[in-house]
Homo-oligomer: A and B are copies of this chain.
Amino acid sequence: MTRNLTMLTDLYQLTMMYGYFKKGVHETEAVYDVFFRRTAGESGYAIMAGLDQVIDLINDLHFGEEDIAYLRSLHLFDEDFLTYLKTFHFTGEIYAIPEGTVVFPYEPLIRVRAKIIEAQLIETAMLNIVNHQTLIATKASRVVYAADGGAVLEFGLRRAQGPDAGLYGARAAVIGGCSSTSNVLAGQYFDVAVSGTHAHSWIMSFDSELEAFRAYAEVFPSSCLLLVDTYDTLESGVPNAIRVFDELRAKGHEPVGIRLDSGDLAYLSKVARKMLDDAGYPNAKICASSDLDEQTIWELKQQGCRIDIWGVGTKLITSENCPALGGVYKLAAIDKGGVLQPKIKISENSWKITNPGYKKVVRIYGNSTGMAIADLIMLDDETIDPEKPLTIFHPQETWKKMTLTNFHVKELMVPVFRDGKQVYTSPSVMEIQQYAKEDMATFWDEYRRFVKQHLYKVDLSDKLYQLKKDMLNQKR
């Protein structure tokens, strides 16, 4: 099931690796952080996802014979280096925030401490995986929030950006809260529920809609959900469905419901609900699909739609309003004579300046509410004494501060690799979904609004802030 993704990298990683190798500094220990500077679209948070595939990537990191032959053919590298690559594998340390965790800008999601040549190679594939899955898990979380208890089914495979985007997108969608996916391969790989009934082509392949409904009900008497919009939803689809439901019931089966896939879903669902109720099917569900996203679902609900189940396709699987999360991988420290020396990337844009050093993230919870109050990015050797008041500052408006008492803290990152050996096992996808739900429940709804959310505070510890300030002053 796992493909070797060692070569799924940018060429410049290999030219830099070669450069370090030729300069004899390739074994220098370095620390890199994966983080994003902005959430995707208008979300106030993100849901960490993709770590399990990063673990596969790292475990399987090696260059095969064909890979070496291909690299030789580029005429960029000498034989010493190619020989070195033959036994190349990952020997470093990785800490990461577990999948399903609610995360925010600038927080190290993954921290790599390894020989610079190893740390450099894995950048591209790791970012690819985490950027993609975190993006989709977050989008799904928003769609599920809009559905407000209604089940959300992931339907987007045909519009996903290639097979993996469908497969791992479905995984991420389930982490973000989707109840099931239409994607059979995702069901098989990740042990998540799959769902689906029939398409318009099923209806069209019979001489009439009624005949098509009857055939479907005959084959799936106990899971009969009928697509009612092929010809005319209210004039033909729903009446025919009710007729077939009556026939089903006469044989002792209760129908599941109907699916609407076009037209005005608010109006149609309200009328169809009445027709189903009047016909004696108050428990028949109404499923709707048709270019849905969190915004449309939210508006349909405002208009009193009677939709129980939401099939969400293109706009979820591509995160259509913002199809990329801009996660980056930045050098945070490098060994200098046996000591890790912090590194900072400066920029004209203050939001592009990195946080230096070997860091961790802690989340602060109020003891009385159990709710998250703020996160703190700090140096790894720092500790917080929850017995003492803690003053934190607003990340942008630094003159605003808050002093906390009666709180507890949790470190967000866990060890994943030590000395190149995996020391963390991913939970199942359904366990991650459950964890994500529980983690999200520690955040006030104010942080989840679709637009103009309350800003969740992510502060730097005093010591880290001071280090950053000193390093910036030194550069000028």
Q: Give A254-291 as 1s and 0s: 1 = Cβ < 8 Å from B's Cβ atoms.
A: 00000000110000000000000000000000000000
- In order of increasing CB-CB distance, the 9 nearest A-B pairs are A11-B196, A12-B196, A162-B164, A164-B164, A323-B323, A127-B158, A161-B165, A10-B182, A318-B323
Complex contact B164–A262 (CB within 8 A) = no
Q: Give A210-232 as 1s and 0s: 1 = Cβ < 8 Å from B's Cβ atoms.
A: 00000110111001000000110
Q: Give the contacts of A293-350 with B (CB-CB under 8 A).
A: 314, 318-320, 323-327, 329-331, 334, 343, 345-349
Complex contact A157–B10 (CB within 8 A) = yes
CA distance A346 to B200 in the complex (A): 10
Q: Give the contacts of A71-110 with B (CB-CB under 8 A).
A: 71, 74, 76
- The answer to whether the Cβ of A420 comes within 8 Å of any Cβ in the partner chain is no
Residue among B10, B13, B314 making CB contact with A326, cutoff 8 Å: B314
- The answer to whether the Cβ of A35 comes within 8 Å of any Cβ in the partner chain is no
Complex contact A132–B161 (CB within 8 A) = yes
Of A201-209, A383-391, A441-449, the one contacting chain B is A201-209
Complex contact A230–B182 (CB within 8 A) = no
- The answer to whether the Cβ of A292 comes within 8 Å of any Cβ in the partner chain is no
Chain A residues at the B interface, C-beta cutoff of 8 Å? 3, 5, 7-16, 18-20, 22-23, 25, 28, 30, 32, 66-67, 70-71, 74, 76, 116, 120, 123-125, 127-129, 131-133, 135-136, 155, 157-169, 182-185, 187-188, 194-202, 204-205, 215-216, 218-220, 223, 230-231, 262-263, 314, 318-320, 323-327, 329-331, 334, 343, 345-349, 352, 475
Complex contact B70–A187 (CB within 8 A) = yes
- Min CB–CB distance A320 → chain B (angstroms): 6
If A16-B201, A196-B12, A198-B16 touch, does A169 touch B163 (CB 8 Å cutoff)?
no
CA distance A120 to B202 in the complex (A): 9
Complex contact B204–A11 (CB within 8 A) = no
If A162-B161, A202-B16 touch, does A215 touch B10 (CB 8 Å cutoff)?
no
CA distance A184 to B123 in the complex (A): 13
Nearest chain-B residue to A74 (Cβ)?
B194
CA distance A456 to B300 in the complex (A): 37
Residue among B135, B200, B223, B346 making CB contact with A231, cutoff 8 Å: B346
Complex contact A185–B8 (CB within 8 A) = yes
Known contacts A10-B183, A128-B166; 10 additional CB pairs below 8 A are: A10-B158, A11-B187, A12-B182, A16-B201, A19-B219, A74-B187, A132-B162, A133-B162, A201-B330, A262-B347
CA distance A215 to B24 in the complex (A): 11
- Cβ of A197: which chain B residues have Cβ within 8 Å of it? 12, 15
If A23-B219, A162-B129 touch, does A324 touch B314 (CB 8 Å cutoff)?
yes
- Cβ of A133: which chain B residues have Cβ within 8 Å of it? 162
Complex contact A19–B202 (CB within 8 A) = yes
If A11-B187, A19-B216, A345-B204 touch, does A161 touch B169 (CB 8 Å cutoff)?
yes
Complex contact A116–B205 (CB within 8 A) = yes
If A8-B157, A198-B15 touch, does A324 touch B318 (CB 8 Å cutoff)?
yes
Residue among B7, B76, B329 making CB contact with A188, cutoff 8 Å: B7
- Min CB–CB distance A178 → chain B (angstroms): 14
CA distance A182 to B7 in the complex (A): 11
CA distance A240 to B30 in the complex (A): 25
Q: List 12 A-B contacts (CB under 8 A).
A: A8-B185, A15-B220, A23-B219, A76-B223, A116-B205, A124-B158, A162-B168, A163-B164, A204-B345, A231-B346, A318-B318, A318-B324
- Cβ of A205: which chain B residues have Cβ within 8 Å of it? 20, 25, 28, 30, 116, 331, 334, 343
Residue among B20, B219, B324, B346 making CB contact with A159, cutoff 8 Å: B324
- Min CB–CB distance A439 → chain B (angstroms): 24
